[in-house]
Amino acid sequence: MSALFEPYRLRDLTIPNRVWMAPMCQYSATPEGPETGAPNDWHFAHYAARAAGGTGLILVEATAVSPEGRITPYDLGIWNDAQVEALRRITRFLVSQGTIPGIQLAHAGRKSSTDLPWEGGAPIGPDALGWQPVGASPLPFDEKHPVPTELTADQISDVVGQFADAARRALDAGFEIAEIHGAHGYLINGFLSPHSNHRTDAYGGSYENRVRFALEVVDAVREVWPEDKPLFFRISATDWLADGGWSADDTVRFAADLHAHGIDLLDVSTGGNVSGVRIPTGPGYQVPFAARVKAATSLPVGAVGMITDPEQAEKILANGEADAVLLGRELLRNPSWARQAARELGGEVRVPNQYHRSV
């Protein structure tokens, strides 16, 4: 059997294959009013198509734990019950197709309050549906972003509680997996990296202090997330700086800490915390970081980043570099990538009765 189409078990949950959809923001939610942050017909059609296409696990895009935690005013949120009800529509359909529904819980930190990417993505203020960003330290992401307000210890505690509340709502909405977003320069990543964390209190300075907030979030979410359900963490394995940033060595060390605190899989990405840094992209360019964590720790890992070809994905798993692959842009291009890959590799995926003529 193809390794890509072997089921994968974490805790009491079996994921039908190793073709997983990475969280990708759609920036398509209503920005204000009673339906703020709730998914709509676009989100339903988007995720439903990938489930019908055979994807084993779909991680719904970065979903903000508070209004101020959104990247843009058009992001999904999970801070109220109206959002929960709208998310249930999506999870019900995913389950009906044999796909595991997952959700990424997020706070954008100093990179919040920006315009739509296709409108330029520039920071916006209260006069344009924006707000004042917060961060680990009063250091802007770049010269275009405003100086974020440094979170106090009490405010950090509040955000930890928001992640726990979001996890409770995610469970109520029907999700089987929750992922904590600790990557790409957003709030948790901003605390982890010495490039963006210049604090002098218990949340800054040493490695132990810089990871404190992240582990507090993990502990709070794990406490309310059922023991039989997996919890993921997405990490930027490197800031891509020669020195002065978060490194691959830090990631390996942190992976062991995360595992000890109840994380079941590390979703390994890179970058996003340093503006203008040069990233040497190419097919599978982030896979070596996942492979290093897998070789050095007992924590399962997912690989992501320019994985586009079925044979490429199969080789990553067959070589033991990762336990699953997460596809992003390729699933935007081809919602039925999993079914196509199964045909090429001799694997099997569930095909909806309505699509049997396509087999």
Pairing verdict, β 134-135 and 177-182: unpaired
> How many of the other CB atoms lie within 10 Å of CB of 343?
13
C-beta separation of 41 from 82 below 8 A = no
203 given a catalytic annotation:
no
Q: What is the chain's alpha carbon radius of gyration, rounded to the nearest angstrom?
A: 19
Residue type present at position 57? L
Active-site annotation holder among 27, 186, 207, 285: 186
Q: Which residues contact 120 (CB under 8 A, 6 or more apart)?
A: none
First and final C-alpha spacing in the chain: 18
Residues constituting the chain: 359
Q: What are phi and psi of 52, to 5 degrees?
A: -65, -25
C-beta separation of 167 from 105 below 8 A = yes
> How many of the other CB atoms lie within 10 Å of CB of 320?
11
Locate all alpha helices (DSSP H) within the chain, ordered by sequence. 41-52, 81-96, 153-172, 187-192, 207-210, 212-224, 248-260, 287-296, 310-318, 329-333, 337-345
Between 287-296 and 248-260, two packed helices, what is the crossing angle to 10 degrees?
50
Q: Which residues contact 112 (CB under 8 A, 6 or more apart)?
A: 68, 69, 70, 71, 131, 133, 134
Q: Which residue has the tokens 């197709």?
A: 97
Residues annotated as catalytic (active site), given as ranges: 186
